[in-house]
């Protein structure tokens, strides 16, 4: 018998290292029930952004995205160590299995994901990437009542910060390392884990003129909070794209998830997915649109994702902090001013 579905809305060198820690302080994993990861982990944004080898590093602030070609902007917005500031809005439309023999249910969510790179020196950048789940809908059984309920609300917040060398040091290699946190900000027991969590974040990859390839990994372990269970979970985000003319690209889409506390068939989520993206200019503002489809070849048996259709909208933001933080005379704040085009 198909269960009843109900909806409940709820509401850096030592100097670099020291500055990085200070910024981190200013800016700010209970095994999930029992196989679930926080919703922001399950479907984190499009792959992290990485600078083009020939692009202006974050230490040089006069990168004007309105003067870049569409393909150059697409490269910058397809990566986690880019010189561009941007905001991503990501809508996921998941189909979730309720268990063996049970129906497949619709579970949407919406994420708000700014990417804020700041230059510490001319050679080192600090990349700050929060993920804020503005809307999460999660199906779950209601103990003792024989039906499935959908609870919606705000999810737990993820904050990753990575120290990354600029292309001046590493050329086309993409490297990043730092801490990642999960804050128990969810408005519901079911849309979060109720745990403070921390762990490492690392990125490695390569960017050429025509393609990008790499992986971004995060692992969180709980150290406090009101949630009933401890947590230990991983999000491995492969990224691979081939860049086409006129701002088009095609590539892999999907996050590999592991819950190290889960048992049986509930530990892994392994997707196979394809994404098509296009950068357009709305007036002077470059915006990246992407559409992806994902099929989970391995997923948790109970309330695991099976399919996902994903829409991503990522406009470029003006850089409000320019120059190097360890060189105060170079710092400029506010909206950039450029001379009018001839």
Each residue's pLDDT tens digit, 26-45:
333 333 344 445 555 554 44
- DSSP helix/strand/coil, 300: coil
CB count within 10 Å of CB 135 equals 17
- Residue 301 is predicted with a pLDDT of 81
Each residue's pLDDT tens digit, 275-317:
999 999 998 899 999 999 999 999 998 888 999 999 999 999 8
Averaged over 91-109, what is the pLDDT? 85
Each domain of the chain, given as residue ranges in start order, spans 5-330
- DSSP helix/strand/coil, 272: strand
Least confident of 15-29, 126-140, 166-180, 223-237: 15-29
pLDDT, averaged across the chain? 81
Least confident of 175-184, 199-208, 235-244, 312-321: 312-321
User: Using CA atoms, how far apart are residues 192 and 177, in angstroms rounded to an integer?
Assistant: 26
Please spell the DSSP secondary structure of 7-20, one letter per residue. Answer: EEEE---HHHHHHH
Percent of the chain at pLDDT above 90?
A: 54
Long-range pairs for 22-27: beta carbons < 8 A, 24 or more residues apart = 23/118, 23/126, 23/128, 23/161, 23/325, 24/161, 24/178, 24/179, 27/128, 27/159, 27/161
User: Using CA atoms, how far apart are residues 318 and 331, in angstroms rounded to an integer?
Assistant: 15
- Residue 104 is predicted with a pLDDT of 82
pTM over 0.95: no
| Residue of 225, 221, 123, 136 whose CA lies nearest to 180 | 221
CB count within 10 Å of CB 144 equals 5
User: Using CA atoms, how far apart are residues 129 and 161, in angstroms rounded to an integer?
Assistant: 6
Q: Which residue has the higher pLDDT, 305 or 100?
A: 305
- Residue 127 is predicted with a pLDDT of 95
- Residue 47 is predicted with a pLDDT of 42
Q: Which CATH number fits domain 5-330: 1.10.3330.10, 2.40.110.10, 2.40.160.40, 3.20.20.120?
A: 2.40.160.40
Q: Which residue has the higher pLDDT, 157 or 79?
A: 157
User: Using CA atoms, how far apart are residues 79 and 51, in angstroms rounded to an integer?
Assistant: 7
- Residue 41 is predicted with a pLDDT of 56
Whether residue 142 has pLDDT greater than 70 = yes
Averaged over 104-116, what is the pLDDT? 92
- Residue 88 is predicted with a pLDDT of 95
């Amino acid at each position: 018998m198909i269960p009843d579905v109900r909806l409940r809305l709820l509401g850096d060198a030592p100097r670099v290292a020291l500055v990085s820690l200070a910024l981190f302080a200013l800016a700010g994993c209970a095994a999930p029930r029992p196989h679930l990861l926080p919703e922001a982990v399950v479907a984190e944004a499009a792959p992290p952004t990485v600078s083009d080898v020939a692009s202006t590093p974050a230490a040089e602030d006069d990168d004007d995205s309105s003067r870049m070609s569409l393909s150059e902007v697409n490269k910058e917005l397809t990566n986690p160590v880019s010189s561009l500031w941007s905001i991503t809005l990501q809508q996921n439309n998941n189909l979730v299995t309720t268990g063996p023999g049970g129906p497949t249910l619709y579970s949407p969510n919406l994420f708000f994901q700014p990417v804020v790179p700041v230059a510490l020196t001319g050679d080192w950048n600090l990349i700050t990437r929060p993920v804020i789940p503005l809307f999460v809908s999660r199906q779950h059984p209601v103990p003792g009542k024989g039906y499935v309920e959908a609870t919606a609300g705000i999810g737990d917040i993820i904050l990753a910060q990575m120290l990354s060398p600029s292309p001046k040091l590493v050329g086309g290699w993409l490297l990043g390392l730092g801490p990642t946190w999960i804050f128990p900000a969810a408005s519901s027991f079911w849309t979060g884990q109720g745990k403070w969590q921390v762990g490492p974040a690392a990125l490695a990859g390569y960017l050429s003129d025509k393609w990008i390839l790499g992986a971004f990994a995060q692992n969180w372990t709980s150290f406090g909070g009101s949630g009933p269970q401890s947590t230990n979970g991983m999000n491995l985000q492969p990224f691979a794209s081939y860049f086409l003319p006129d701002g088009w690209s095609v590539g892999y889409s999907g996050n590999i998830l592991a819950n190290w506390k889960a048992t049986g068939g509930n530990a892994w989520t392994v997707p196979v997915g394809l994404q098509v993206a296009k950068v357009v200019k709305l007036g002077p503002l470059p915006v990246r649109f992407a559409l992806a489809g994902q099929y989970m070849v391995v997923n948790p048996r109970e309330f695991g994702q099976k399919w996902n259709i994903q829409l991503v909208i990522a406009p470029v933001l003006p850089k409000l902090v320019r120059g190097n933080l360890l060189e105060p005379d170079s710092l400029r704040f506010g909206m950039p001013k450029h001379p009018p085009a001839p």
